[in-house]
Chain A
Amino acid sequence: MENKIKKVDLIFEQVDYLEILDRSFKRTQDEIILDIIDSGLRGRGGAGFPTGLKWKFAKNEEADQKYVICNADEGEPGTFKDREILTQVPEKVLGGMALCGKSTGASRGYIYLRGEYNFLLPQLNAAIDKFHEDLKNMNFDFTIEIKSGSGAYVCGEETALMESMEGKRGEPRNKPPFPTTSGYLGKPTSVNNVETLVFALMIAKEGPTKFKEMGTFDSRGSKVFSVSGDTPKAGIYELELGMSLEDFVNEFGDGDTKAVQIGGASGFCVARKHFKETVIGFEGIPTGGSMMLFNSTRSMYNILNDYLEFFEEESCGQCTPCRVGCQQLLKGIEAVKKGNRPPSYLDELQKLSETMKIASKCGLGQSAPNPFNSIINNFREEIIY
């Protein structure tokens, strides 16, 4: 059988990042941004907003100060690729931030580092010190500072992240205005995932063509996956986008894969019967990297219960659909399981989850129903009996 999984080595490839920056700094902002737009790069944190457009919006704003933020609050359960990137190629992340700074006109960058990753601080700070020296030699005005998170999942949401950076409670803001207009301290800010920044640097190195040739129309390039669960090959893999889930499971499954949770707790659960037609990518099911495989020994009720407990606790609590909705979904499946509510109550909860998806204030509440719906739709009997 042909191996349809294509491994790629862009992210972890050792490159002369200073040479890339040196060349980029000689180009115009528009030239760099056009290359990023042309490459089709979309945000690698999960939401998939076109990176070049984001940079263009930030660039077009007039302000005395703009910011670049590297979102390293990798909090999605099952995702651990940013940790690896920051460990192995921190200078490429810093390079990507400087490139974004150049493109958008920002002179200050921040890394919002997940609190649990504080063990990375010594080496990251050392890398930043060296990077500042290098930039000084290149006569480029850009500084980077690390801000540590305190453990709230919601702070990975870009506006909650900025609230947290400003020393406030991590609660998402109303959008609009979007961060590229009014972000950190009210200034135009582009917030990018760790991996996105490295890809941007690599696109600056190679030009857009090589990246564009990989993947599919909607999902260009490659992506770093965090593979976990019932798999003999748990770990980090950079793969070309657009593969089918079947191919993925053939590569990483243990031969008994019952379901795969794509995109972490806020992602979708795909049952075996749908592996073939499921594409991993923006036209199918996107992921910030998390791929969790479950074999037939796993109870889907327990899995869903775990996810819902997570959301019940990690909702910031400010908006009604998310705060109370998450509690209701959790209590609801418990009540159905115990027979305190009829199975038809799950239909009521699915209506509620639709409201959560469209009426919640931020991505957390809008995506918290994803595992609920996909597991109910695929494994309804496991929830009831």
Chain B
Amino acid sequence: MSKYKVNLKINNLNVSVDEGTTILEAARQLNFKIPTLCHHDDLCVAGNCRVCVVEQVGNRLLPAACATPVSEGMEVLTNSMKVRQARKNIIELLLSEHNADCTKCFKSGYCELQEVANEYRTGDHVYLDVKNLNPIDISSPSIEKDDSKCIRCQRCVRTCTELQAVSALAVTHKGKDMKISTFLDKPMNDVVCTNCGQCINRCPTASLVERNYIDQVFDAIYDPKKFVVVQTAPATRVAISEEFGMGPNRSTGKMVAALRRLGFDKVLDTDFTADLTIMEEGTELLTRLKEALVDGKDVALPMMTSCSPGWIKFQEHIFPDMLDNLSTCKSPQQMFGPLAKTYYAEKINKNPADMVVVSIMPCTAKKYEADRPEMRGSGYKDVDFVLTTRELGRMIHQAGIDFEKLDDEKYDSILGQSTGAAVIFGNTGGVMEAALRTAYEIVTGREVPFANLNIKPVRGMEGIKEAAVKIKDVKPEWSFLEGVELKVAIAHGLSNAKELMNRIKDGSANYHFIEVMGCPGGCIGGGGQPIPTNMEIRKKRAAAIYDEDEKMVIRKSHQNPEVEEIYKSYLHKPLGHRSHDLLHTHYTPRKRY
């Protein structure tokens, strides 16, 4: 459909834009910034907060720039006397119902309300205090909900409903009592919430933040009796730089150096267990395929990845009848924990009771995952504390470390070896690509038939991706796979996941293997990643991940020497007895609300 051009004037400057463009977007083209709060590039238009109101010549009302499409001959003023007065009033109104306790607030310095309030210097509190100091909901190990900071922009509701198809958050009541709430106003931990944290990523204030464990981690570091090891997820290494104004960038070496300076005893890599996941999950897939194709058993196919704890909880709530399809593999974080407190503890001769395992994750659902009662394979809580990329950024700031000036350092060994396959776990399609690189080679003895190992069909930001790989000339022991076309699909963001699940349930699609990541873009767009996150930033982080992969010497999980070593000396074989005890888990059906 060809787009018509619309001509209009903004602040007396002519501009010509596509039909359907909003005033906000048109103003951006002329480099006029209009403040916004309820608007978010990832979400549908709301027009709620009214901070973006502008004057349209001839219109008695001030339209919201974010919600109003341009029209031919329109004349817009973005900073007239009327606009300024209204905007100041609106900001003052928001402040009058907001718990503006900025000096104590976790979001201070990152808060969008604080930013517009500072810009407009509204001065004394003009209006009466109408804020409501209800208790903060800390029922969830992942998400803290403080209604007193809420400005009712509904970004979280739109995120939870549109982007994630979860609808744990909704608007309830009206008028002065209108608020963002849950089903029957239950605590966050008792509802359908998947802990994905996408709401946190879009909350303009501190109404929704992660439960932060910075002090507990520092306490552990300061405790001389504790041996504190830290593991870092693939996606954190391309985003932590954003916390220091450096944009999305490969900064693995700086991050390792910073962690060492923070006082962690050993700096280790979740990438190691990502590679291990490929070995376990790849073997599980091949086993399931054999059971289906050779033994004629009724096994659950397609098999679905289990790395993303937001996705896992979603599945437990929304599709509890499909839990058998989930791989029994724990996520890389939760494989790392028990191995650190068993295998690694033995190697370094430490009492696991004195060990503290901290993980740095792009994710808030990982906090919940670490708290699951089944995640105690080592006999202890496998992962003690989970910090988001943002929390790590905060710790580095607090410790006075100049991140930008750090020289690159390397992970400690063992449990610090990574491969390109593990790094791409951070991107949507990455687990699939890593699995295919290994599984294809195990089965055929040859590398995957894609240039430079880059399996392009599974990459990119399309919501649901499909690919098929024809398996030919297999090794004798895999003869049952000869000629099989392996069909795979990838979804990221839970609304896409839901769509894919529905297709599978109604029989309109058939696959062998499915990768799902709970967050848009995969882990690089995780709920624990730096704010803001939007499509442009997700694409940059994803590019940095692929760049990191290309620069790795080893790019296949089964070639990770530490992985080879652990199978030789400890686990013996994938899906073996020890693997079963330490690296695999089970799932719990949950209610829809």
Contact = CB atoms under 8 A, between A and B. Distances in A.
A85 to B, nearest CB: 28
B174 A324 contact: no
Contacts of B62: 358-359
Contacts of B49: 319-320
Interface in B61-117: 61-62, 64, 67-69, 82, 85-86, 89-90, 93-94, 96-97
Interface string A150-183: 0010100000000000000101001010000000
A348 interface: yes
Contacts of A143: none
Given A320-B94, A358-B62, A313 B176 contact: yes
Which of A311, A351, A354, A359: most chain B Cβ within 10 A? A359
Contact of B174 (A315, A351, A354): A315
B181 to A, nearest CB: 12
Given A174-B68, A328-B128, A358-B61, A321 B176 contact: no
Q: How large is the interface on A (under 10, 10 to 19, 20 to 34, 35 or more residues)?
A: 35 or more
Contacts of B82: 358
Interface residues of B, number: 38
A352 interface: yes
Contact of A328 (B45, B85, B96, B154): B96
A316 interface: yes
A372 to B, nearest CB: 14
Which of A152, A318, A326: most chain B Cβ within 10 A? A318
A176 B69 contact: yes
Given A351-B85, A359-B62, A318 B94 contact: no
Which of B47, B51, B68: most chain A Cβ within 10 A? B47
A317 interface: yes
Nearest to A169: B171
B264 to A, nearest CB: 45
Nearest to A313: B175
B50 interface: yes
Which of A152, A348, A361: most chain B Cβ within 10 A? A361
Contacts of A78: none
Nearest to B178: A317
A374 interface: no
Given A318-B152, A351-B85, A359-B86, A332 B176 contact: no
Given A326-B176, A327-B130, A335-B128, A321 B89 contact: yes
A152 to B, nearest CB: 6
A331 interface: yes
Contacts of B67: 174
Contacts of B45: 174
Given A324-B130, A358-B61, A314 B90 contact: no
A359 B175 contact: no
B222 interface: no
B3 interface: no
Given A324-B94, A348-B126, A355-B86, A361 B50 contact: yes
A94 B86 CA distance: 43
A331 B128 contact: yes
A323 interface: yes
A86 to B, nearest CB: 26
B444 to A, nearest CB: 51
A230 interface: no
B568 interface: no
A321 B93 contact: yes
A40 interface: no
A75 to B, nearest CB: 13
6 contacts: A174-B67, A313-B176, A315-B176, A319-B47, A328-B128, A352-B127
Interface of A: 152, 154, 169, 171, 174, 176, 311-321, 323-328, 331-332, 335, 341, 348, 351-352, 354-355, 358-361, 366
Given A152-B174, A317-B175, A320-B93, 7 more contacts: A318-B171, A319-B48, A324-B96, A328-B130, A332-B127, A355-B89, A361-B47
Interface of B: 45-51, 53, 60-62, 64, 67-69, 82, 85-86, 89-90, 93-94, 96-97, 126-128, 130, 151-152, 154, 171, 173-178
6 closest pairs, A vs B, by CB? A317-B178, A324-B93, A355-B89, A174-B67, A313-B175, A355-B86
